[in-house]
Amino acid sequence: MSRGSAPARPDLYSRVTTQILEDLQRGVRPWVKPWSAEHLAGRITRPLRHNLEPYRGINILLLWAQASSQGYTAPIWMTFRQALELGGCVRKGEHGVTVVYANRLTRTETGDDGAETEREIPYLKAYTVFNIEQIDGLPAVLQATEPPRLDPGQRIDQAEAFFAATGAEIRHGGNQAYYMIGEDRVQVPAFEAFVDPQSYYATLAHECTHWTRHPSRLDRDFGRQRWGDPAYAREELVAELGAAFLCADLGLELTVREDHSAYLAHWLEVLANDHGLIFSAAARAQRACDYLHGLQPDLPPA
């Protein structure tokens, strides 16, 4: 047998597969690119190595999934040693993600007739990388990522007025959208960070439908116990339908968000177990829309 790296532990394939299955169970599709960014190297499509070379194969899925779960917007990854070589340092307490290196080793075997033959054996080697958002002191060229920016002039006046009139506390920033019932507020990324105005208002409609579930409003509670349970799926279905109804009312094109289309499996399950659910969800969504419309100022007489 020739000298070379020893084969990786045989459970590496299982570890990678298990990680992807866990992402799917959390409602995250690891094959969806989690950022939309421009870089000095050009339009970003795949995760990049420290030298801006794109990753390939299974590493694309692993790094997309990690970026999605941790909220990273930068697409560049590197090892601890590579960060040091570039003048940077991984921040204390940061945890990396496992990626794999595929190669082949050559084994020389001797047959019964004494003839030697060489056989190539594929193997995987695991190593750990960190996103550049976990690293301080890197050259500016590696950090020169910027999300595409919508022109604020593309805001739609009718939709702006509608959501402002609800009185909901709406904060902008970050790269996630959600409603926090404990703080009773809606959080969405900045308008300029969306692909188009319709995506922004569809997201806002979805989260404002969630906003109506507060006990001081429609007091909508499906008995949710944990993230991802059937009650969670029911509330997401109401919000999805509410967003569709509101977009229709406002004359907007409904843009389906990737994170909510990932709930399809949940919805299929709960709908299969409760044939009346779609009716009740639509009725609850309609009540949420009516509530939001009821907060609008009366139009002046014609």
Tell me the pLDDT band of 258, cut-offs 50, 70 and 90: low
Q: What angle do CA 59, 60, 63 make, to 5 degrees?
A: 80
Rounded CA gap, 28 and 177, in Å?
A: 15
Q: Which two tokens stand for residue 95?
A: 């945890």
Rounded CA gap, 281 and 208, in Å?
A: 16
pLDDT computed for residue 260 by the predictor: 54
Which is more confident, 212 or 237? Answer: 212
pLDDT computed for residue 188 by the predictor: 92
Biggest distance spanned by C-alpha atoms of the chain:
102
What's phi and psi for 122, nearest 5 deg? -70, 145
Domain ranges of the chain: 12-146, 152-294
151-161, pLDDT tens digit by residue?
778 999 999 99
171-199, pLDDT tens digit by residue?
998 878 899 999 999 999 889 888 888 88
Pairing mode, strands 116-131 and 77-78: antiparallel
Q: What is the mean pLDDT of the chain?
A: 79
Rounded CA gap, 17 and 15, in Å?
A: 5
Which is more confident, 212 or 118? Answer: 212
pLDDT computed for residue 173 by the predictor: 85
Q: Using a cut of 0.85, tell me whether the model's pTM lies above it.
A: no
Rounded CA gap, 122 and 227, in Å?
A: 40
Rounded CA gap, 262 and 271, in Å?
A: 15
Tell which residue, 69, 48, 62, 75, has the closest CA to residue 133.
75
